[in-house]
Structure 1
Amino acid sequence: MTCETVYADATDPVHLAATRIAALAEGRARLLVAVAGPPASGKSTIAARIADALDDAVAVPMDGYHLDNETLSARGLLARKGAPETFDADGFITAMRVLKTGERTALPAFDRAADATVPDAIEVPAEARIVVVEGNYLCLDAAPWRELHSLWDYRIALDVPIEELRRRLTERWLEHGHTHEDAVRRAEANDLPNARRVMDEALPVDLRIVG
């Protein structure tokens, strides 16, 4: 697989990605695009913009597959929420296989205010020829996540410097009402280790967006 690398401050990565994806989609019933990257890298924004630039395309997040807090507490994983092991990976993989068939599919969403998933909140109609999926671990080279690799028709990775991620993640926790000390602690203890894993254990992609 040959990977293109573009710099967001010098090139319009959305236009480039949309052009590549549109060419691949010709004559296809359903195309699945992965937008992978660490937390706070801008995945949801990029995925939405790519979907908006394409015909018959929708963007969907992976976040609806967070395990519920009760389950995480029972497993001693609540403090690690957002790590690979805190998602229903098998359920997500099954849903992506259904999406690949072109069938209408209902997917869960994640309500950040309630810190809980909302079942069947996102509908992907059969008419959607392109589904742009965004999430941290879509290209992670670890079981069972690597099973996704063969399902993606086009793979995009977002590459943001750790210092910028640290700034964004700290700001995110501040916006949720945490003190600066607690915001920094949460970013350093959980978010940034997850970010490093996303970047260090990634499978090959088709397009790498730096910035």
Structure 2
Amino acid sequence: MDQSVRANLSPYQTFSRAEWAELRRGTPMTLTIEDVIRLRSLNDPVSLAEVEDIYLPLSRLLSFYVEATQGLHRATSRFLGHSGAKMPFIIGIAGSVAVGKSTTARILKTMLARWASSPKVDLITTDGFLYPNAVLKAEGLMERKGFPESYDQRALLGFLSDIKAGTPNVTAPVYSHLVYDVVPGETVTIDRPDILILEGLNVLQAGRGPKDGKAIPFVSDFFDFSIFIDADDLDLRRWYVERFMRLRDTAFRDPRSYFTRYAEVGEDEAIGIANGLWDRINLPNLRENVLPTRYRADLVLKKSGRHAIETVMLRKL
């Protein structure tokens, strides 16, 4: 098939980094290099230039989406004859382990909160909705941690339903990456934000709906805009192993760390362990569950082997 015909049939419009950067259209830069260093994750070398080229145009685009969605809500409320509660604009961010979801989520949260209108922006990760390790062990799911079945989907859907309904003071469980488990009794409270960012591996997952058609079955049903961060398998593996080795020299040395046993093994053994974890858990989850959701996103950010976003794909309306 001719490439131009293929492009016309695609549900996305594709931009190079340079083409996307031109869409900034004077959007002011509100982050400093110090902000970027503070917000980026371990082993994610996002630069100030990348923020200017990628995230400033994205911030401008999201401002249009938020304004349009709020306008639609007001119009619907007038039609129904009531004011209605404020409905937060929810952004979903999906992608593989080690691809940089957390960095993207934190940068967007900070940038959106610095709009001239000063909206209230909150960020939640789906990690808190993982079942506790005790439950995963009892169900034989520890090697499936991060797979869809390892999450309390009912609790996550209930949380999003309350947020979207404008319910005040909605709580979510807290996850500790240090102890690799949900923290018993610890919660975070989200109180009627203007914008909520939900970041997680499987937030764009879909499947068979309920046979009775009565339940809202998918997390993505609550999204107003969704982003998938994409990269090649081999790059993801390399970034995962590199991050594991850096954690081996830092966080894993904390006696409280679930992975402290890996801090003292030799370098070659540690690399072998990291590759084994990738092959047994993260790569199958990527291929079976995460990657198939890529083209459900409104925006796909494709990274090169340098861990930098080089291509942007925006869903056509």
Q: TM-score, normalised by structure 2?
A: 0.61
- 1:56 pairs with 2:127: no
Cα gap change, 1:59 to 1:93, in 2 (>3 Å): same
Of 173, 193, 200 in structure 2, the residue corresponding to residue 135 of structure 1 is 200
**Paired residues, number:** 210
Contact 1:5–1:207 (CA under 8 A) maintained in structure 2: no
Of 225, 242, 246 in structure 2, the residue corresponding to residue 154 of structure 1 is 225
Q: What residue in structure 1 maps to residue 92 of structure 2? A: 34
Distance 1:155 1:201 in 2: 11
- 1:171 pairs with 2:242: yes
Of 79, 92, 101 in structure 2, the residue corresponding to residue 43 of structure 1 is 101
The SS at the match of 2:222 is coil
The SS at the match of 2:296 is coil
- Mean Cα deviation higher: 41-50 or 197-206: 197-206
Distance 1:169 1:134 in 2: 18
Cα deviation for residue 180 of structure 1 reads 1.5
More relative contact order, 1 or 2 (CA 8 Å, 6+ apart): 1
Of 161, 171, 180 in structure 2, the residue corresponding to residue 115 of structure 1 is 180
Cα deviation for residue 48 of structure 1 reads 1.1
The SS at the match of 1:165 is helix
Cα deviation for residue 42 of structure 1 reads 0.8
Higher helix share: 2
Distance 2:277 2:17 in 1: 28
The SS at the match of 1:113 is coil
Q: What residue in structure 2 maps to residue 83 of structure 1? A: 147
Contact 1:3–1:205 (CA under 8 A) maintained in structure 2: no
- Overall identity of the aligned pairs, in %: 23
Q: What residue in structure 2 maps to residue 17 of structure 1? A: 58
Which of the two has higher C-alpha Rg? 2
Cα displacement string for residues 36-62 of structure 1 (whole angstroms, at most 9, x for unaligned residues): 111111111101111111132122111
Higher strand share: 1
Distance 1:191 1:114 in 2: 19
The runs of at least 4 consecutive aligned structure 1 residues that moved more than 6 Å come to none
- The amino acid across from 1:20 in the alignment is L
- Mean Cα deviation higher: 150-159 or 24-33: 24-33
Distance 1:105 1:138 in 2: 19
Cα deviation for residue 68 of structure 1 reads 1.1
Distance 2:197 2:122 in 1: 6
Distance 1:5 1:99 in 2: 33
Gaps of 5+ in 1: none
Q: What residue in structure 2 maps to residue 125 of structure 1? A: 191
Distance 2:13 2:60 in 1: 13
Cα deviation for residue 159 of structure 1 reads 0.6
